Amino acid sequence: MGQDKADKGQGMEIRKVSDGGKYANNGDFVLEKTIFNNIFEKDIRRVFIYKKAERIAKAIHLILPAFVESVSLKNRIDAVAMGLVDAALAPPASARVALSRELLALSSVLSVAHGCGILSSMNTELISREARLLLQEVAGYEEPRLLLEEAPTLADIAKQANKKEAALPAVVASSAKRPVRAPGVKDTDRTNGPIKDRRDAILSVIKNKTTASIKDISTLVRGVSEKTIQRELAALVSLGVLRKQGERRWSTYSLA
């Protein structure tokens, strides 16, 4: 009876854990707005790390029947599975240490289980490979250094403009649509607010990296879409502040 259960655990093959794209699926529950903002602080790489830890935990529970003859190992690897999920939810500073500790414990349990003939080589290698990939992701994680509020959409701008026009006489509202530029004042002199903040953030990233692509900038300037970053880069190039090299997705930018 016990041997039959052990054979069942040995013969069972878990499916390959795929990433389904570089980052989490947009329909995923963890990307619900409140959770994404409050728990992951709008950091999509933290979501990716969490989902990878969750997938490894699922894979571990699929192989638990193989541990029927070793209660101690079964309890240990079960605790590691839950520990991975808990560690991935921790703040970035403590998550790195906690995840590394749990992955080290997982590696040890897998090694013992395989050495004792509890786990097949295929299942051991599959989970070990996913654990290594997660460890690499954790080691390479850099907490975004810049945080900006989300850029206003065209709809938001239109609503604000409509409110202002409704509060002013028709003549004043009409003239407000065509702001008079003071002699000698250029458009760039009047750049302020969110636009100035975004451009300062983009220039800061490029200054630190010497050259940077849109992808490089989008991982560090949070809360701003790649389309918006691309638009700001084009404006800075036209103003002579930045120099562009390459075309399309191979484009890189440096200070002029």
Write out the DSSP string of 101-117: HHHHHHHHHHHHHHHTT
Both 18 and 134 in a single domain? yes
Q: What's the mean pLDDT in 140-144?
A: 74
Asked if residue 148 has pLDDT above 70, the reply is no
Give pLDDT, residue 165: 60
Both 138 and 167 in a single domain? no
Residue 183 lies in a domain: no
Residue 31 lies in a domain: yes
Both 105 and 205 in a single domain? no
Both 127 and 158 in a single domain? no
Asked if residue 4 has pLDDT above 80, the reply is no
| pLDDT tens digits, 192-213 | 567 777 888 888 888 888 888 8
Both 160 and 132 in a single domain? no
Alpha carbon distance 232, 184 (integer Å): 24
Angle separating helix axes 121-139 and 92-115, nearest 10 degrees: 160
Q: What's the mean pLDDT in 147-164?
A: 59
More confident residue, 78 or 171: 78
| pLDDT tens digits, 64-75 | 999 998 999 999
Residue 184 lies in a domain: no
Asked if residue 43 has pLDDT above 50, the reply is yes
pLDDT band at 17 (very low <50, low <70, confident <90, very high): very low
**Which are the contacts of 43, defined by CB distance < 8 A and separation ≥ 6?**
92, 143, 144, 222
Both 96 and 38 in a single domain? yes
Both 57 and 110 in a single domain? yes
Average pLDDT across the chain, whole number: 76
Asked if residue 51 has pLDDT above 80, the reply is yes
Give pLDDT, residue 101: 94
Structure tokens at 179: 């702001």
Structure tokens at 62: 């699929």
Residue 182 lies in a domain: no
More confident residue, 206 or 175: 206
Give pLDDT, residue 18: 46
Least confident of 82-86, 99-103, 155-159: 155-159
For residue 195, what is the domain's CATH number?
1.10.10.10
Residue 185 lies in a domain: no
Residue 233 lies in a domain: yes
CA torsion angle for 31, 32, 33, 37 (degrees, to 10)? -50
Both 110 and 11 in a single domain? yes
Domain count for the chain: 2
Residue 242's domain spans which residues?
147-177+190-255
Percent of the chain topping pLDDT 90: 30
Residue 36 lies in a domain: yes
Q: What's the mean pLDDT in 100-114?
A: 94
Both 72 and 38 in a single domain? yes
Residue 244 lies in a domain: yes
Alpha carbon distance 42, 173 (integer Å): 38
Both 104 and 166 in a single domain? no
Give pLDDT, residue 134: 92
pTM tops 0.85, yes or no: no
Asked if residue 84 has pLDDT above 70, the reply is yes
Give pLDDT, residue 121: 93
Both 110 and 164 in a single domain? no
Both 165 and 125 in a single domain? no
